[in-house]
Amino acid sequence: MTRPRSALNEGLGSGERAPRGGARGLPSDGRGRVIVDAIEPALDGGAYAAKRILRERITISADLISDGHDVVAGELLLRRPAPRGEERPAGAEPFDRSIGLEPLGNDRFAANFVADAIGRWHYAIRAWVDHFASFRRGLARKVDAGQEVAVDLLVGAELVAAAASRASGDERAALQSAASAIGDRSASAHERAERATSPELQALMARHPDKSHASQPLWLPLWVDRERARFSAWYEMFPRSTGEGGRHGTFATAAERLPYIAAMGFDVLYLPPIHPIGHTYRKGKNNEPSAGPDDVGSPWAIGSEEGGHKSIHPDLGTLDDFDEFRAQASRHGLELALDVALQVTPDHPYVKEHPEWFKRRPDGSIQYAENPPKKYQDIYPFDFECEAWQSMWLELKSIFEFWIARGVHIFRVDNPHTKSLPFWHWCIGELTAENPDTLFLAEAFTRPKLMYMLAKVGFSQSYTYFTWRHSGRELAEYVREISSPPVSDFFRPNFWPNTPDILPEHLQHAGRPAFALRLVLAAMLSSNYGVYGPAYELMENVPRGGVEEYVDNEKYQLRSWEVQRQDSLRALMARINQIRRDNPALQHNAVTFHPCDNELLLCFSKREPDGENAVLVIANMDVHHPQVGWVDLDLPELFPAGARAGAAQLVQSQQSTQPVQLHDLLSDARYFSEGRRLYVRLDPGAAPAHIFRLRRRARSEHDFDYFV
């Protein structure tokens, strides 16, 4: 739980201590008695913004702690994003909206709201002692005990009269009338007490509280993204491999592949770098250190005499051709994502124009990229400790700005963990201030805390360790970590079962069942997922030299893909993506795992927040053999109290004959479970998993509400 500086510390001022005596060190006003603590969400005391999604119901909670037994009240203050291009100081008044906090018990309070704009919001909690609510509670107790309350009623009349001075119009008049009635000594104490404790007066008083000694608000940031930050299906494709007869593909030939990709239900089309490729130290096929005359090189070796990061590889086409390709992709429901790799080849114009941006070795040569014992002589990294860092930062930011101006609003960033974190914090902050709909995917397979920090400084989504989590136990442990607060407040996972860099061992030897299983797991466990295709749907599984890397790797050579092959997984991909679109539960990352007596069966569920949709997935983690087992379902979690499904009825179904309907969205079969225990048998040769949409039993066995 993050604990921002409390209101007490704010009042004392930075670095000051509470005084031991005398006037030295006294706060400007020490009469405020409520401490606001443990605000959630709050990342590192407000140093970074928690993340939410447009039109999502957002809950803010905090502890409001005061001395004694007085009633405490508070409000959530909200400040909307500043208009594009404008600066709005985080701590400046006025706020745009206030929402009263509701007590949760044990000094915990919360309020919620729906974010109706993308961009940087700010919120704060302000709290005070509610003297009228304290009076009202005490008065009621004294009346119940038969005690004298004449003086108490006069105190109450003064509190109501003070509230009238803060009100206006009809409410001012109503409060003045109430104050007179409560203070009227000619009336009976019983009548006056009933007026003082009436719910109507309490509601009226709550709208005009005395905040003269309220805590000072501590403003915290909250970033609200468009929905695609939370829910997306990515497809990676090399446009240069769309040519026929071994010829280099173009944007025109790549456009011919768009209907095929759209038909599989993907919504983000990710292209590796599309820029000119260097010639010096160009790598050959299978990463050979020397290239032949026909070798095309790696797209991540950016820059030649034909241009750099703001240029198009001439064999792909022109900028106009790119614009047309992006427009065609959009017409097919595909949003284009571009790879930005902040590195250059020795031939990049930056090397000649700005040698000060690169590290020089004692022999005068520029330091190339290394990950010992690996050497990347064709890549020069930028020196983020160079003296000219300011001009370099501005130019690197301008790369993103160039492509944003051409309609690109999603970027996959290559190896961001090898670049300066302060740079990313500044760069993404500047870019999203002007273009809040822009999203950034961090390709960073690195240390967990570094991955998390990249998310904190601004990356919208992140690659994960999913690729290397094999067993059900490993997956459950990892998914629990990244889908629960505080990690889920800033880290959005994007699960990839393969990439051009990674052919994991579990895909190398088990054939179609392994590819089908990992597809289901990626798409069901994470609301964001992606595949490198057509290698994935065509189940490419031959490694290079026994390592987790493809032989004849498309990173270094052109490939020809038979995308219409009959054994392709494209039909399964289309079905999986349709299931994800049809079920809001799968568009979120909160996951519940259910116990099973067979550890080779992984059982988990998702449900729609504040909704009825619930999906249960049972996957066979053994891609070689059928597995059977009994699963215990957490029915209150699947159908929470308050949902129309009726949690209580479902819990009772453990002892009754009322079944739960399970509609398998892969096979279209329907089953009924008498209670919470399910018997499961899964054969990997037939299906990798059950994907059940759950429904409670209706009034009669013919009244089920089927959703197909």
Residues known to be catalytic: 414, 443
Residue 168 three-state SS: coil
Complete edge-to-edge strand list for the sheet that includes strand 50-53 = 50-53, 220-225, 119-129, 72-79, 97-100
Q: What is the CA radius of gyration of the chain?
A: 31
Expressed in angstroms, the distance from the first to the final Cα of the chain is 41
Of residues 612, 661, 610, 608, the one with CA closest to residue 633? 661
Return the SS3 of 706: coil
Using the structure block, give the residue that is written with the tokens 């993506």: 577
> What's the number of CA atoms in the CB half-sphere (13 Å) around residue 221?
21
Cβ atoms of 601 and 631 closer than 8 Å:
yes
Scan for tokens 């241009």, then name that residue.
307
Q: List, in sequence order, every beta strand (DSSP E) within 175-321.
A: 220-225, 232-236, 268-271
Assigned token pair, 461: 């989504």
Task: Judge residue 24's burial from the number of C-beta atoms within 10 Å of its C-beta, 0-12 exposed, 13-18 middle, 19 or more buried.
Answer: exposed
* Tokens (6 digits) for 154: 């006069």
* Residue 275, CA distances (Å) to 309, 313, 325, 396, 598 in order: 6, 5, 15, 15, 50
The whole-angstrom separation of Cα 291 and Cα 551 is 16
Q: What is the DSSP string of 389-439?
A: HHHHHHHHHHHHHHHHTTT--EEEEESGGGS-HHHHHHHHHHHHHH-TT-E
User: Concatenated DSSP letters for 498-533?
Assistant: -BTTB--GGGTSS-HHHHHHHHHHHHHH-SEEEEET
| Whole-number Å distance between alpha carbons of 183 and 160 | 10
Tokens 């759209």 correspond to what residue?
Answer: 262
Q: Give the number of other CB atoms < 10 A from CB of residue 87.
A: 6
Q: Closest by alpha carbon to 410, among 381, 379, 445, 439?
A: 439
Helix (H, G, I), strand (E, B) or coil at 469: coil
CA–CA distance, 39 with 2 (Å, rounded to integer): 7
Between the alpha carbon of residue 459 and those of residues 270, 429, 462, the distances in Å are: 16, 10, 7
Question: Which pair of tokens denotes residue 700?
Answer: 């009669």
